[in-house]
Amino acid sequence: MLAALAPGASTVELPNRGEDVLATRDAVAALGARVDDRGKAIVVEGGRLLDPASTIDARNSGTTVRLLLGLCAGHGISARFDGDDSLRRRPMERVAKPLRAVGANVETSDGRLPAVVRGVMNPPGGEFALEIPSAQVKSAILLANLAATGPVRITGDRHSRDHTERMLRHLGRDIAFDGRTIELRPGSLKAGRIRIPADLSGAAFFIVAAAITPGSELLLLEVGVNPTRTGFLDVMRAMGADIVLEHERDLDGEPVADLRVHYHPLQAAAIDGDLVVRAIDEIPILAVAAAHATGTTRVRDAAELRAKESDRIAVIATTLRACGVDAVEHPDGFDVTGGGARPPAQPLATHGDHRIAMAIAALAAPTGPHTIDDAHCSAVSFPDFFELWRTAQS
């Protein structure tokens, strides 16, 4: 998205080939950017974008639609967005409301998709207070204000992921952020080279599988270890996992490291507060670690999980119980009492949720195969997952 706005050619190297990324690629092309997908790199010729000729289909990607609503809102673009049945159930007013404050006209369908945005040019900037600490919301606000004539200040964050802020700085913008407040000064983007680290959220499934399977040793290369994303690693270490970061370094503004994991018995932990914000996407796989830990792991302050691709709180609890694990559901989380899992009597339902499908694979690592109803849904974020999974187990 940023490359589409920056005049000139930008090269995005080692992009994830997940369906969410491809949906974004196609969406920026529909907005007028020239996109040359070379497989391991995508070259984007950016600059002036245009109203799309037809509805932009974000497919299953909440990040795509929410951030592009922001981009259109502040760059004078009118567009209609839609998605699949799962995305149509997800809330959009959390983004629409601050974008209206920018001056854009944003219409949702009872707070959901389809949505229409009619953007403004050169908004004035100003101060925005986040109602929830969401990386998607603050990124939408930043995208809407990249052409602002005055400074922009966003408050109310709680160390939600800061990839957008870091990439803006990498592409030449004057931006400050400390985990609580973001300040963006007027300026312009510069096209450039953007190398993408391996995704910690994807690596998490392999890390937990190695941590709970006796005799395992695993080395994962060049994984992103951005501090706003390492809540997962903090929880795993609190549970006693043997995870070592090697060769820590910087990759185009993002910290990366090689991760070495050995099996080690785990113990229960508490996951709540800011830690949940920093590990929200990894909660399903942390529930798998909890199922193989000693004691009861308690997750709270995670009501956001009910508005993901599935109601992850309910699905996690149901899945673990089907595998003989004591799991109790709460409005904003769950309790998991460990002791190991067993293969289920019936195929497990993924509810079309990529993270649930991959979490079940990790759950099965020490116990034997678990049958699921939909392996393809993993392609939303990790199309090569099961191929790499077989390699890791060999």
Non-local (6+) Cβ contacts of 234 within 8 A are: 275, 278, 279
Tell me the C-alpha distance between 82 and 345, whole Å: 38
Q: Where are the alpha helices (DSSP H) in 74-184?
A: 85-88, 93-102, 135-144, 163-170
* CA dist., res. 16 & res. 379, Å (int): 10
Active-site positions read 281
Q: How many residues does the chain have?
A: 394
Q: Is the peptide bond before 114 cis (omega within 30 degrees of 0)?
A: yes
DSSP 8-class letter at 378: G
Q: Residue 248's closest CA among 229, 222, 268, 230?
A: 222
**Rounded CA separation 383/261 (Å):** 23
Question: Is the Cβ–Cβ distance between 336 and 291 less than 8 Å?
Answer: yes
Other CB atoms within 10 Å distance of the CB of residue 72: 28
Asked if 120 contacts 102 with a C-beta cutoff of 8 angstroms, the reply is: yes
**Burial group, residue 273, by CB count within 10 angstroms (0-12, 13-18, 19+):** exposed
Nearest Cα residue to 264 out of 296, 196, 216 = 216
Strands 254-262 and 217-224 come out as: antiparallel
CA-based end-to-end distance of the chain: 38
Selection from 320, 304, 312 nearest residue 356 by Cα? 312
- Output the six-digit token pair for 320: 């673990």
Residue 229: Cβ within 10 Å count? 27
The span from the CA of 25 to the CA of 51, in Å, is 16
